[in-house]
């Protein structure tokens, strides 16, 4: 019990004792008057004592309830409030909102599996993971021997990114894109912002050969750096067999095996989906409903909150290394908004190429997104709430404000010479805060502790 609650309890007990003392005194006074001066007792003090006694009893009952609520374990009291908790989280204003659209089958929210899928030609083993971690942190794999995979993907610090707008490579060179987090990259079917790599093994070969990032001349040059270090001979033997040749392919396989262990299935959202109905706050529950009804799930779907992830990621099913068939890439920004110029969103076209009108990008995962700012492909946005506004307006055609008329669009069809009206989603500032709160529920408990300890 906190000091404030203890102080209130002591005051309450003192009040009960005082009230009981007054009642006793009133009753004794009335009885004395009745026995010593027959006929002179009006009974008023006795009535007052009865009334005061009822008040003391009621207050004592409330005090007892308060004591139970503040001293019994949370798991004993809170479940009694669960149904009421769920009934009160939706504000009255939601009665004017449209229903969550349902397709032939309702959207199924999924928790992240406890293991990541691995390809048949690179099974995950403890020995390979240990070797991969050693390589992941080895700055000798860069031309200047001072940049490693971990330089841009801070695993120890918890974020899995470097927290820069764009990443820093050898000789202080700055890249043109923000470093995606390495956490849960194992669940993505394509890698890099433009989705050019189909596997972790292929992605692991990219940074060492990038002239800005690690700057090695060739894959053979990377392999030779590893061969030159005697400390790698035994780990390679354990991972790939006695005297197995050290090649660039095997370096990439080991790094990929290590990255497949960097998964975070311990977020409050995961606990909620697995059955802990108290894992999410009221704001997060409202945000979860808005995330679905506004249409965010059209791109950020599944257990990894990305349409560019593998399928079959439900608990109890073996994770399957099969890509989704709804496309891994999306045009961004989809609509003209003031944010396009403000954050220079179309300077880099991604997979769209230089001649494209808009950028085309892989759908990123939203796992641990509260930890991985700054945001977007160019790292131009610092606040998670601002990203929610940008994506709502740019990708979903939503309006952010309080005027519901902002959500109405009129379309003219030249083919049939008709006018039609479409009501777009309208999000208030409170809705934006709720969606951001839900996104924060995707943060791993373990990573949150690491970040807080920094």
The catalytic residue positions are 213
Total Cβ atoms within 10 A of residue 398: 23
Tally DSSP H helices, then E strands, for the chain: 17, 6
Cα separation values, 313 from 81, 110, 197, 212, 295, Å? 32, 8, 21, 35, 21
Q: How far apart are CA 202 and CA 215, in angstroms?
A: 17
Helices (H), 241-360: 248-259, 268-273, 282-293, 339-342
Q: Which residues pair with 94 in a beta bridge?
A: none
Task: Specify whether the CB–CB gap between 287 and 235 falls below 8 A.
Answer: no
Residues 6+ apart with CB under 8 A from 265: 111, 112, 113, 114
Q: How far apart are CA 393 and CA 340, in angstroms?
A: 11
Q: How far apart are CA 116 and CA 188, in angstroms?
A: 10
Q: How far apart are CA 52 and CA 433, in angstroms?
A: 48
Long-range contacts of 76-84 (CB under 8 A, 24+ apart): 78/278, 79/278, 82/277, 82/278
């Amino acid at each position: 019990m906190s000091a404030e609650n203890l102080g209130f309890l002591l005051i309450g007990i003192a009040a009960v004792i005082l009230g009981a003392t007054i009642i006793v005194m009133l009753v004794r006074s009335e009885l004395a008057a009745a026995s010593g001066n027959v006929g002179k007792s009006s009974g008023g003090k006795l009535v007052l004592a009865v009334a005061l006694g009822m008040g003391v009893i009621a207050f004592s009952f409330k005090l007892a309830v308060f004591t139970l609520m503040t001293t019994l374990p949370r798991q004993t009291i809170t479940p009694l409030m669960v149904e009421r908790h769920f009934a009160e989280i939706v504000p009255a204003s939601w009665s004017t909102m449209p229903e969550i659209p349902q397709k032939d089958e309702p959207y199924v929210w999924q928790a992240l599996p406890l293991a990541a899928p691995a390809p048949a030609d690179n099974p995950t083993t403890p020995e390979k993971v240990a070797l991969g971690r050693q390589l992941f942190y080895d700055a000798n794999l860069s031309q200047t021997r001072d940049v490693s995979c971990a330089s841009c993907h801070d695993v120890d610090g918890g974020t899995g990114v470097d927290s820069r707008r764009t990443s820093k490579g050898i000789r202080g060179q700055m890249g043109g894109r923000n470093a995606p987090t390495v956490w849960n990259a194992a669940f993505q079917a394509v890698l890099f912002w433009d989705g050019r790599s189909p596997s972790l093994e292929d992605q692991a070969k990219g940074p060492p050969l990038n002239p800005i990032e690690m700057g090695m001349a060739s894959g053979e040059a990377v392999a030779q750096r590893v061969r030159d270090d005697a400390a790698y001979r035994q780990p390679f033997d354990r991972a790939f067999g006695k005297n197995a040749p050290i090649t660039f392919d095997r370096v990439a396989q080991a790094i990929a095996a290590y990255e497949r262990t960097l998964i975070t299935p311990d977020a409050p959202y995961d606990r909620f989906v697995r059955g802990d109905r108290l894992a999410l706050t009221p704001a997060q529950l409202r945000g979860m409903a808005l995330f679905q009804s506004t249409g965010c799930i059209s791109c950020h779907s599944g257990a990894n909150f990305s349409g560019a992830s593998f399928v079959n990621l439900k608990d109890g099913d073996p994770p399957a290394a099969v890509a989704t068939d709804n496309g891994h890439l999306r045009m961004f920004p989809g609509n003209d908004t003031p944010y396009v110029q403000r954050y220079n969103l179309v300077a880099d076209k991604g997979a769209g190429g230089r001649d494209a009108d808009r950028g085309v990008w892989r759908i990123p995962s939203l796992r641990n997104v509260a930890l991985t700012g700054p945001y977007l492909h160019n790292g131009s946005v610092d606040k998670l709430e601002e990203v929610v506004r940008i994506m709502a307006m740019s990708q979903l055609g939503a309006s952010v404000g309080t005027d519901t008329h902002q959500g109405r669009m009129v379309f003219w069809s030249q083919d049939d010479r008709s006018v039609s009206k479409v009501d777009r989603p309208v999000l208030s500032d409170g809705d934006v805060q709720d969606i951001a709160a839900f996104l924060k529920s995707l943060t791993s408990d373990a990573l949150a502790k690491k970040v807080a300890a920094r």
